[in-house]
Amino acid sequence: GDSVTQMEGPVTLSEEAFLTINCTYTATGYPSLFWYVQYPGEGLQLLLKATKADDKGSNKGFEATYRKETTSFHLEKGSVQVSDSAVYFCALDPSGSARQLTFGSGTQLTVLP
Amino acid sequence: ETGVTQTPRHLVMGMTNKKSLKCEQHLGHNAMYWYKQSAKKPLELMFVYSLEERVENNSVPSRFSPECPNSSHLFLHLHTLQPEDSALYLCASSRTQRNNSPLHFGNGTRLTVT
């Protein structure tokens, strides 16, 4: 079946450091890929998405590129801020149907001032 | 204001209690979802309601019972829960179930079963 594997956290960085959170997936066909973010005490919010190979999703300084050859969708940001501290979830949708959305287990990011 | 409102934010209940979680969305969406979020586990989809269909995850125990009276409101009725049911329960909505329509989540109800 479809699955998403994220790097295990927690990840702790200093402000202005470079961030990479790895995400790889297993799926048949051509899934859409997403990153969601969950700030403390809140639900998940869509951060960015990519719907086909080589697409780059970007938002709030975060980027991720859909790499079909390596089945990856790594999240990157060049300079993190304290306000980026949150849990980040990679997810895939194999068919365009939200009820088939499969989430990774999440990566906790803490950014220190 | 997220557009998806869940109440209560926190709930503590005994194993013999009956309680309900409420979710309301003000986004004009046509699909609503219940997810269970447990520590160090992926989000688990429990139920989906939409204009197209109701979908259940067959692994969800019958002690969880959803109700969707209209497209804006979704309930999760709880009875005779177990301690392992303690988790964060998230409601979400989307414009449709299809076409990569993104999910909008509420802030969740933190449930503790004693």
Q: How many CB pairs under 8 A join A and B?
A: 63
More reliable by pLDDT, A100 or B36:
B36
Look at B55 and A102 and tell me if their CB atoms are within 8 Å: no
Average pLDDT of span A94-102? 77
User: Taking Cα atoms as reference points, which of A23, A30, A38, A29 lies closest to residue A90?
Assistant: A23
pLDDT digits (tens, 9 = 90+) for B45-85: 999 988 767 777 778 999 999 999 888 999 999 999 999 99
A17-60 confidence digits (pLDDT tens) = 999 999 999 998 889 999 999 999 899 999 999 999 999 999 99
Place of tokens 């009725």: B77
Please compute the mean of the pLDDT values over residues A86-101 and round it to a whole number: 85
CA separation, residue B83 to residues A8, B80, B91 (Å):
26, 10, 21
Contact of B106 with chain A, judged by CB distance below 8 Å, is answered with: yes
Which is more confidently placed, B110 or A30? Answer: B110
pLDDT band at B26 (very low <50, low <70, confident <90, very high): very high
CA pair distance B92, A85, nearest whole angstrom: 22
- The shortest C-alpha distance from A103 to chain B (Å) reads 6
Contacts of A34 in chain B (CB under 8 A): 102
Q: Is the pLDDT of residue A106 over 80?
A: yes
DSSP A4-19: EEE--S-EEEETT--E
Q: Which residue of A has its CA nearest to B45?
A: A99
A89-96 average pLDDT score:
87
Dihedral angle over CA of B72, A101, A79, A68, nearest 10: -150
The predicted structure's pLDDT at residue B58: 74
For range A74-96, the mean pLDDT: 94
A56-70 mean pLDDT: 96
